[in-house]
Structure 1
């Protein structure tokens, strides 16, 4: 019986021989060419082409350097930018189709472009492979008979969302979405799932280009558990729209081109939120005092009952401010998260 270590070594060497690309000096004769089309969003709502185009080019090079994969063929690609816009993406498709050579397959990314491209491509019996299309609608084989994707469907996360809701016993869910088929179908799938579990989506908000009113409505209706689905550019507008307006207004008031010269500028959001904390506390205290026939303006430095009402209201105040979530401990301290990150030998880990 042979040495087991030698057997494992032989298997390892064999595996390396199978997967290692041929050295650059090897003679690889591939005298036939297959051309594919590439549609990449290099800008726009999801500029995924910035990272995906180089990866595709690298993969094409690696495949062409293999002798055991398409040994007679070299793969080439004609590509253009869709800007993640369906109209432009469709125009790029037609350009690829009507310009020689014939394209054997089309790669595309960005769900909204993939939807239009895949729907049109079936007229040319053309297979479409998406590296970035996550819309659940793309799973419809009748509508997209020649479509494939390496990106998972957008509904993939809904079962996970549901488990989180159940773990914390959340029953009333709110949603905010960008008005795109990708996000609409994702939310529709989520709604079916939560209903089966006895939960409700009580507030639904959507927006096309400006999330201001949708965010305002969520706040007005006191939405607490919110599922948001949108592209990256809109995500920044949803999460930072209150903060962006604050910065613009403050900078205009300060009338300076160099805010680093303004002492206290980094703490300005904390001051802004302090006023809102005060306003929320006063509002809550006024309601409680009104039940007892009292008013905030009755305070005279001796009325402990009004002081106690304001203290109690401040102690229970919670809201999302410019500086983040605002809430207080029993000691009156701001409740805040601390995130610690470390880099060791170029690897990154996070300790919460």
Structure 2
């Protein structure tokens, strides 16, 4: 079927070429058309070329005594094939080709246009749209009737301004044509104040890229692809529900008619699903056939309607619009007219040379080539496809059309004429109104709102009240400890060390208040100072409180693991030194931290959350944090020191778990406190790092600090309050037999009792040994 159609078209083309004057001189044009290959646009462009040749040869006023002849070759829409076919004809000396028509595909046009100027040939394409072809240094003798895709960006920008869209996403097939066009669009968008929030490129599977655009929140999407990849993109968009009233898609307008309905085994979408996905999308392209009501008469004298009738009469099909290249047919027609007008004017200018010449004398000379180039550069006429004029890059300046797919019909909704006014205003009058599924233009971006997560005032007040209660409780215990410090049960538990524990607890309570100070109740500077104060209070408070418990547990452990009969006295001064060492170590780290890497206020962004009632709104949680560049290392130092202290303290508590002499020390209670702090610390520390929600984070951390501190203080001091009147020095243990040293140190009497017991045991063992020796004698 295809081969039969090609033979008919070739025959008709030859007939058209011979329809001029019988004795006319033939002017040969090399026509490069894609009969086969990825895009077989010759189905429609060759018949249109035939009509133009027929009309020109039949016009006695245009190129009299000459007859245009087009020699066609199949490029297969391939650069190598097109170049090979071109050279074959140029080296065919039986005919001299005065100009080159085509090719159609940009990939075939680029190599031929780079080479043809070396033969002093002017080349005109009817459908190549690559922005690269606008580079005069690479393609010095090239023109095209179909403007580059990059020139169509002006309509997209004008459309964005019309509907107040300032954010857009782009997706493109990985091909030079679309890469250059998209890059140019990004530049123009930036100049117009439009933000490209997602720029995606794919090779053959756009699924991931579609998902990325969806995550970006963009609703206006500019796409660049060929028909086969366009089907994959919209099928992926269908599965991601990226279509309908809330999305706007803008695609190339030169894609073949009903491109989404073609059978394609590479997609998993039905025709009905594709119809739904592409509904109401926009397409941008040069207006290939302006309405007769909105234009001046064409130079050929034909109206758009008449052209369509004649075209339909030539092609061998019941539905001309189904032909590949149907959208480019008018450009092919006008390309031949551009060549004819250039040859006609060149004939006049050549005749004025000395000696006179004609276009028939062309022998790949630079003089005729330059005249043809200059004539085309200055041409301006009304073609079937609209006004025709070229800029300095050889790109046509023509009407740009904006179309929309409405209820399955391709509807013209506006045009832009770059040659009139500012060249950046869309004309809506005289065209069908745009149809919006939602009744109005959609928003260009998911409305993103900041959700500044601050600690609720009620939660902060609750934490502050509990901290105040804790401070009051610690003060009561401190008053009790000082007032009854000479009472035996208090005196033997090292009240001075207990005072340090209480001070540490108070600092922990104060840290809860500092922890709750947020930017909703304080300035940023104050917030930073509160952060620093919280760090100091927690660090020093922990060292004082837990260091005191640890030191007392260590003393009990040392006494009960002493294997010798030697007297062991561990004074409170040694315990003071141990706690002081821990505090000074904390102070050293804190001073270095503040000096070398001070805390500053930073905003931390959480995971975006879509509004439950309106999916056009997304909230970004923002937490004001106190952080420093190397904060992890500083916190890590505290975790290592305090972690080791906790682990060793738990070990000592376990070792002294069987100590049951009440007056010796509150060792059992201290052990319980160590386990309590250990468990809460190991549970709370990692959870506090993971938890992002500000109120939940404060509630958790404050609760853990308050529980650990309150339980520790109550476990240590409540038993002392309950038993302060029950402890009698002479009733509980043998400790009453040993008096305290005259130095007044609080080294408990139990130490002396143990030493006396060990000495007594040693003496008895010696007596037994002596008795045994006597019996032997």
Q: How far 1:44 moved relative to its partner?
A: 4.1
Match of 2:84 in 1: 91
* Paired position in structure 1 for 2:664: none
CA contact (8 A) 1:112 1:180 kept: no
Aligned with residue 198 of structure 2, among 194, 203, 211: 203
Relative to structure 1, is the Cα distance of residues 217 and 81 closer, same or farther in structure 2, using a 3 angstrom cutoff? farther
Deviations 1:195-218 (A, max 9, x none): 112222121112334434433433
Partner-residue secondary structure (3-state), 1:67: coil
2:223 to 228, 233, 236: 228
Alignment of 1:153-302 (within 5 A): 153-241=148-236, 244-247=267-270
Structure 1 residue corresponding to 2:28, chosen from 29, 35, 39: 35
Unaligned runs of 5+ in 1: 1-25, 251-311, 319-352
Q: What value does the CA root-mean-square deviation take over the aligned residues?
A: 2.7
Distance 1:233 1:44, change over 3 A: farther
Q: Using a 3 Å threshold, how does the CA distance of structure 1 residues 236 and 44 change in structure 2: closer, same or farther?
A: farther
Answer yes or no: is the 8 Å Cα contact 2:34–2:77 preserved in 1: yes
> SS at the partner of 2:97?
coil
Q: Residues 77 and 212 from structure 1, CA distance in 2 versus in 1: closer, same or farther, beyond 3 angstroms?
A: farther
Cα shift at 1:128: 0.6
**Secondary structure, counterpart of 1:245 in structure 2:** coil
State the SS of the aligned residue for 1:185.
helix
Measured in 1, the distance between the counterparts of 2:198 and 2:74 equals 37
What secondary structure does 1:218 align onto?
helix
Structure 1 segment 295-314 matched on structure 2, within 5 A: 313=612
**Partner of residue 48, structure 1:** 41
How far 1:60 moved relative to its partner?
A: 1.0
Once the 2 structures are TM-superposed, how far is the Cα of residue 247 of structure 1 from its aligned partner? 4.3
* 1-structure distance, mates of 2:131, 2:152: 11
Name stretches of at least 5 consecutive residues in structure 2 with no aligned partner.
1-18, 239-266, 274-610, 617-777
Cα gap change, 1:173 to 1:129, in 2 (>3 Å):
same
Among candidates 66, 87, 92, match of residue 73 of structure 1: 66
Q: Retained in 1: the 8 A contact 2:235–2:269?
A: no
Alpha-carbon distance in structure 1 between the residues aligned to 2:113 and 2:105: 12
Picking from 85, 92, 103, the partner of 2:97 is 103
Q: Aligned residue for 2:118?
A: 123
Verify the 8 A CA contact 2:186 2:196 in the aligned structure 1: yes
Q: Which moved more, 1:210-219 or 1:68-77?
A: 210-219
Q: Given the alignment of the two structures, is residue 57 of structure 1 paired with residue 80 of structure 2, yes or no?
A: no
Cα gap change, 1:138/1:160 in structure 2, threshold over 3 Å: closer, same or farther?
Answer: same
Deviation at 1:116, TM superposition (A): 1.8
1:220 Cα deviation (Å)?
Answer: 4.3
Would the aligned equivalents of 1:130 and 1:150 in 2 still touch at CA under 8 Å?
yes
Q: Deviations over 1:64-107 (max 9, x none)?
A: 22222222222112212223222222222222222342221111
Aligned to 2:647: none
- Distance of aligned partners of 1:199 and 1:242 in 2 relative to their CA distance in 1, 3 Å threshold: closer
Shift of 1:234: 2.6
- Distance in 2 (CA, whole Å) between partners of 1:62 and 1:236 is 39
Provide the C-alpha distance between the structure 2 equivalents of 1:213 and 1:207, rounded to a whole number of angstroms.
Answer: 9
Q: TM-score, with normalisation over the residues of structure 2?
A: 0.28
Greater C-alpha radius of gyration:
2
CA separation of 1:208 and 1:119: change in aligned 2, threshold 3 A = farther
Asked if the contact 1:84/1:113 (under 8 Å) is kept, the reply is yes
SS in 2 for 1:36: strand
Deviation at 1:219, TM superposition (A): 3.2
Structure 1 counterpart of 2:147: 152
Paired residue total: 230
User: 2:96, 2:20 → 1: CA distance?
Assistant: 27
- In structure 2, the residue matched to 1:322 is none
Distance 2:187 2:152 in 1: 14
User: Which structure is higher in helix share?
Assistant: 2
Other structure's SS at 1:177 match: strand
Whether the 8 Å CA contact 2:31–2:101 is kept in 1: the answer is yes
Q: Given that residues 29 and 70 in structure 2 are in contact (C-alpha distance below 8 angstroms), is that contact kept between their aligned partners in structure 1?
A: yes
- Distance (Å, rounded) in 1 between the aligned partners of 2:125 and 2:22: 30
| Cα-to-partner distance string for 1:19-49 (whole Å, 9 max, x where unaligned) | xxxxxxx983333211111111234444322
Change in Cα spacing, 1:97 to 1:176, as seen in structure 2 (3 Å) is same
Cα distance in 2 for residues equivalent to 1:238 and 1:59: 38
SS state of the match for residue 94, structure 1?
helix
Structure 2 distance, partners of 1:45, 1:241, is: 23
